[in-house]
Structure 1
């Protein structure tokens, strides 16, 4: 094999890797085909308003409980009910 052939094979690896990277980047990004959301979409902001039903009912600080009261984690049969079907 001549030295020119060896040099060609040596350069084929990095060149092929760079080409594959560029093709995958263009395929997944396709920036030339996607629309510009920020420029083409009009978003109108309105002031935040609260309803009369939104009121604070209690505040819990420094909770030391390791579980939630009334949990049914260990009561599998109480949590899962068999579906009644027309079989």
Structure 2
């Protein structure tokens, strides 16, 4: 028996690692199946509508909270679907 019969085993390591890397890359990236938004979606520009109007001014305030906030009212803030 010659020592050349074991060379395929040495070559199988890097070849197998490369194949595994490529398989995992293709599985998780899905580059051939992903949606290319920039190429496949057209957006038509429309004229800007609306207006700007000043509704109030706050200067020099020392308040740390906004009046009417619901930070501590968890049940009102978080709405469950189906209720």
TM-score, structure 1 as length reference:
0.49
Q: Distance in 2 between matches of 1:38 and 1:46?
A: 18
TM-score, structure 2 as length reference:
0.50
Q: Which stretch shows the higher mean deviation, 26-35 or 39-48?
A: 26-35
The answer to whether the aligner puts 1:66 opposite 2:67 as a matched pair is no
Q: Distance in 1 between matches of 2:21 and 2:53?
A: 55
Change (3 A) 1:49 1:23: same
Please, which runs of 5 or more residues in structure 1 have no aligned partner? 82-87
Equivalence for 1:25: 25
Shift of 1:33: 3.2
Q: Distance in 1 between matches of 2:75 and 2:32?
A: 52
Change (3 A) 1:15 1:69: same
Please, which runs of 5 or more residues in structure 2 have no aligned partner? 77-83
Change (3 A) 1:31 1:71: closer
Q: Distance in 1 between matches of 2:5 and 2:61?
A: 75
Q: Count how many residue pairs are aligned between Structure 1 and Structure 2.
A: 73
Equivalence for 2:53: 55
